[in-house]
Amino acid sequence: MLGHMTPTRADVAAMIDHTLLAPEATPAEVEALIAEARRLGVYAICVSPSMLPVRAPGLVVATVAGFPSGKHHSLVKGAEARLAVDQGAAEVDMVIDVGAALAGDFNAVLTDVITVREAVDDRAVLKVIIESAALTDDAIVGACRAAEQGGADFVKTSTGFHPAGGASAHAVRLMAETVGGRLGVKASGGIRTAADAAAMIEAGATRLGLSKSAAVLDGFAE
């Protein structure tokens, strides 16, 4: 976390997962994503598991599991994550069962996270998407605690596909307070400007999921 210092373009680029998860994405668009990621100097690319494997030397390759609804059996999420790692993914962003979190069934959330964690073992960074815009504050806290207990490396706000919306500074701050620096916090969903990104970083985000990375980075000084 960069604290109250104004982040530079390079600071922000080093936090970005440059993302292409559109259902209609083509292999050519993934290649364009990789080329743009290299040009921008971002940390990682994030693509759908069906697009793996990809050649992206110098970039971390991330993918998703149980995306975007989270309404997949835990074993299916685990198998999807394991296959993705076998195909070269170094990070997996899994979606919890949002309904379980809303119902207060955090044991179900915990089981979900543990299943995926065990499936990938220590071969991948695990980020847990809680779909914060769809949750109450109490459910956000409970989901983050379950993610930490289950062995996650990050908690993440959003898929970017939920009608309730994406990241908010309020949710990021609450998530950061809950995990207390023990886990990373990834803000994603609806971050389209430098002002949006700066607000998330100020609130405690340590990673950003962006599809409009160039436009965001253009708003930061070198």
Instruction: Considering the candidates 77, 112, 186, 196, report the single residue annotated as catalytic.
Output: 186
Examine the residue annotation and report whether 93 is marked as an active-site residue of this protein.
yes
- Tell me, what amino acid is at 24? E
Angle between helix 106-120 and helix 74-86 axes, rounded to 10 deg: 30
Instruction: Considering the candidates 17, 77, 97, 156, report the single residue annotated as catalytic.
Output: 156
In whole angstroms, how large is the CA radius of gyration of the chain? Answer: 16
DSSP state letter for 3: T
Specify the pairing of strand 16-20 against strand 44-47.
parallel
Number of H helices and E strands in the chain, helices first, is: 9, 8
Instruction: Considering the candidates 17, 93, 97, 112, report the single residue annotated as catalytic.
Output: 93
175, 166 Cβ separation under 8 angstroms:
no
DSSP state letter for 190: S
Examine the residue annotation and report whether 196 is marked as an active-site residue of this protein.
no
Examine the residue annotation and report whether 77 is marked as an active-site residue of this protein.
no
- Give the other-Cβ count within 10 Å of 60's Cβ: 16
Residues with catalytic roles: 93, 156, 186
